[in-house]
Amino acid sequence: MQATMPTPAELKQLLLERLNLSEEAQQEFLEPKYQLGDPFLFRDMEKSVERIQQAIENKEHVGIYSDYDCDGIPGAVVLVDFFKVLGIADRVHVYIPDRHDEGYGVNVKGIDELQALGVTLMITVDVGITALTEVADAQSRGMDVIVTDHHSVVRQSDNDGDRVVLPDAYAVVHPAIGEYPEKNLCGAATAFMLARAFLLRYGKQYNVPEGWEKWLLDLAGFATLSDMVSLTGENRVLVWYGMMVMRKTRRVGLQTLFSANSIDSSRLTESDLTFTVAPRLNAASRMASPALAFELLATEDRTRAMALVKELTKINDERKVLVARIVKEAHGRLAARELPDIVVIGDLAWRPAVLGLVAGKLQETYGKSFFVWGEGGDGTLKGSCRMIATHHAAVLMQALPEGTILHAGGHKAAGGFAVTKEQVHFFEAALNTARNFLAENEKSGSSVKVDEGTPSAFPLPLGCATIRHLQTVRSFAPFGVGNPEPVFLFENLTIESNKKFGKAKEHIECVVRDTTGCATAFTFFVDEDFCTKCTPGNTISILGTLEAGWRGGIRIRIKEIL
């Protein structure tokens, strides 16, 4: 039976109904106002901005210690731009640890390097909340530390119950601590709030134009998308306005990267950022040095930007090959296993830096949470996890018995961990036992909640694959965690033709038709079984999303063939 043909206005109403919002809230969702909370509601924000002001007045050297991913690196650039506008860029030093040799978090090597440069104020970005020993070390050397982070805090249980343990820093700025209303900011957005607070207090003193900080929204919004935090509340505001800024970006590196990948910045979507930009920036730390990604975002030299884009594209291609090989090996091992809710898999030959991507692909394929490990440079096993909606990485790892794991960090959807070669044999059983314990607590009223699932697909005929219908769908963007892109059901389609594309012909594009019209449908990385279903003359149904085509018009990105 053919789906009815909704007008763009009717489609808009269908999509609004899934939000379950009042009329006033619906309008606010579709056209968010640039209204953010008072940044001085963050714990220690007052102390932080006063300490930065003191550092500027005393001509101190400031260190920025950031994570190496697409949250920490943009956050570091946010603070560098902030210090540039204050006129002290020559006294600001950035340290980003090497993912392979140093691993995640604040470490002694980084503190040593910043101390050697004369740094007396260190600001962390997207790291530090669990670095109790390292922050204490920096403070003992006369280096004040302002921690800005959003990862789960350390919790310890004693006779008085569960308590939060914070690093003994000069100041701790964290969205989940204090009275700030938005508790789910990413690391770069938290750093943005620090810059915003300082400019509210001291901006006029430095002749910074009112509202200048909005130019930093491009990277705060990009990091919010990349770090998979929920795109609701202030996060939606940050990304919505961040996309506006990025569409007219003044960053030479981004302009060059867009051009090299045939991205029209004026029509930029969140998919362009998450599927094209983020993988190339993340490839820097996974396959080479995170400094390449930082430099691309920070450079003002177009020739250097072009060289960086070429290098990042090359190492990203190498990363794709490596991930594909590991995923194939993993599929072979998993085929003979009965899989629990949480799966642990690894190999001494697997490179830890790419295992978050591997875990993500396995999680999508099997619908289970995956912890994937390889051998780290220090003889321990290091890896990453990606979780299904009903599991919380940070909570789960904190619930493990003492001695199960060396260290861990992360948030709900993802995390990193390290275990010994002895511990790994018991790791999967311990994770599933901890998950069962948490599930029992959920039933009895624990605060750990289950995320919403993907909404049901809306039936649509191909006649609705129009520019006006796509514009209606895009009015609900940006899409991501907490605001999934609408998936549509296209039924009883006849395949008229198909072709494979890509270097290895690993992708497929089909022309499909129903009684209301025809459209192009495509997807990436298909197997032979999928290609067989797409044989001309076959009748299929598709779960897919609408998007603008490469050569104009509207196309359907296939999620699943039914």
pLDDT in tens, the chain (562 residues): 556 789 999 999 989 988 888 888 898 999 999 999 999 999 999 999 999 999 999 999 999 999 999 999 999 999 999 999 999 999 999 999 998 888 788 999 999 999 999 999 999 999 999 999 999 999 999 999 999 999 988 777 666 667 889 999 999 999 999 999 999 999 999 999 999 999 999 999 999 999 999 999 999 999 999 988 889 999 999 999 999 999 999 999 999 999 999 999 998 999 999 989 999 999 999 899 999 999 999 999 999 999 999 999 999 999 999 999 999 999 999 998 999 999 999 999 999 989 999 999 999 889 999 999 999 877 889 999 999 988 989 889 988 888 888 888 777 888 889 999 999 999 999 999 999 888 876 654 433 333 333 446 889 999 999 999 999 999 999 998 888 899 999 999 999 999 998 878 889 999 999 999 999 999 988 888 888 999 999 999 999 999 988 777 899 999 989 8
Contact call for residues 496 and 512 (beta carbons, < 8 A): yes
Which residue has 């343990």 as its token pair?
165
pLDDT at site 68:
94
463 secondary structure, DSSP code: G
232 to each of 53, 174, 247, 481, how far by Cα in Å?
33, 18, 21, 9
The structure's pTM equals 0.85
**Torsion angle, CA of 67/72/77/79, rounded to 10 degrees?**
-90
User: CA-to-CA distance for 317 and 353, rounded, in angstroms?
Assistant: 15
Q: Is the domain covering 39-247 a CATH 3.90.1640.30 domain?
A: yes
Instruction: List the chain domain ranges.
Output: 8-18+455-561, 39-247, 248-321, 337-443
Tell me, rounded to whole angstroms, the distance of Cα 17 from its chain centroid. 27
The dotted CATH code for 337-443 is 3.10.310.30
Tell me, rounded to whole angstroms, the distance of Cα 12 from its chain centroid. 28
273 secondary structure, DSSP code: I
Taking Cα atoms as reference points, which of 11, 474, 9, 487 lies closest to residue 240?
A: 474
**Which homologous superfamily does the CATH classification assign to the domain defined by 8-18+455-561?**
Nucleic acid-binding proteins (2.40.50.140)
pLDDT at site 443:
53
Classify the phi-psi angles of 524: left when phi > 0, otherwise alpha if psi is within -120 to 50, otherwise beta: beta
